[in-house]
């Protein structure tokens, strides 16, 4: 299987174009608009390379397939639709987190995920 720079660029461009984290399958579908013939194995290989270079981050949400986003989007959180499993970006952080922290606890990192139903699934349910 050939593994060209062009294919890697198509994969990275797909992630940059997207306004939310994408699964490997979604990346493959998007990248094939730019460069035909990209298989899942190629997507995973490219993702591994990008993650090793800290260009791409894996977004891990329990119960969801792993998804990926460009690493330069800054600190933010995610919302996940419990029906279609799509993951969405939330802008920035939440206010007032400091108030939750016990005095004898030093926070090193945090992760916040909102679970719900996306507009598409909500509209489908409303018929
Ligand atoms: Zn949905
Ligand atoms: Zn935050």
Same domain, residue pair 64 and 88: no
Which among 107, 99, 63 has a CA at the least distance from the CA of 81? 63
**Near ion ligand 1, which residues have CB within 5 Å?**
81, 83-84, 118, 121
CATH number at residue 37: 1.10.10.10
C-alpha pair distances (Å), 33 with each of 36, 37, 66, 68, 98:
7, 10, 22, 18, 45
Same domain, residue pair 83 and 116: yes
Residue burial 95-119, b: 16+ Cβ < 10 Å; e: rest: eeeeeeeeeeeeeeeeeeeeeeebe
Given pLDDT bands bounded at 50, 70 and 90, which one contains residue 3? low
Q: Does position 2 have pLDDT exceeding 60, yes or no? A: no
Q: What is the pLDDT of residues 61-109, one digit of tens each?
A: 988 999 999 999 999 999 999 999 999 999 999 989 999 999 999 999 9
The rounded Å distance from CA 92 to ligand 2 centre is 7
Bind-site residues for Zn(2+):
81, 84, 118, 121
Domain around 32: 5-70
The rounded Å distance from CA 87 to ligand 1 centre is 9
Q: Per the structure, how many domains does the chain have? A: 2
Q: Does position 1 have pLDDT exceeding 50, yes or no? A: no
The rounded Å distance from CA 114 to ligand 1 centre is 13
């Amino acid at each position: 299987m050939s593994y060209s720079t062009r294919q890697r660029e198509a994969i990275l461009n797909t992630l940059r174009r997207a306004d939310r984290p994408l699964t490997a399958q979604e990346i493959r579908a998007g990248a094939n608009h730019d460069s035909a013939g990209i298989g899942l194995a190629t997507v995973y290989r490219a993702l591994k390379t990008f993650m090793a270079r800290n260009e791409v981050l894996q977004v891990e949400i329990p119960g969801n397939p792993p998804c990926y986003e460009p690493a330069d989007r800054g600190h933010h959180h995610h919302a996940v639709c419990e029906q279609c499993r799509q993951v969405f970006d939330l802008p920035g952080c939440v206010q007032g987190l400091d108030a939750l922290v016990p005095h004898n606890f030093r926070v090193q990192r945090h992760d916040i995920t909102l679970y719900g139903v996306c507009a598409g699934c909500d509209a489908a349910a409303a018929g």
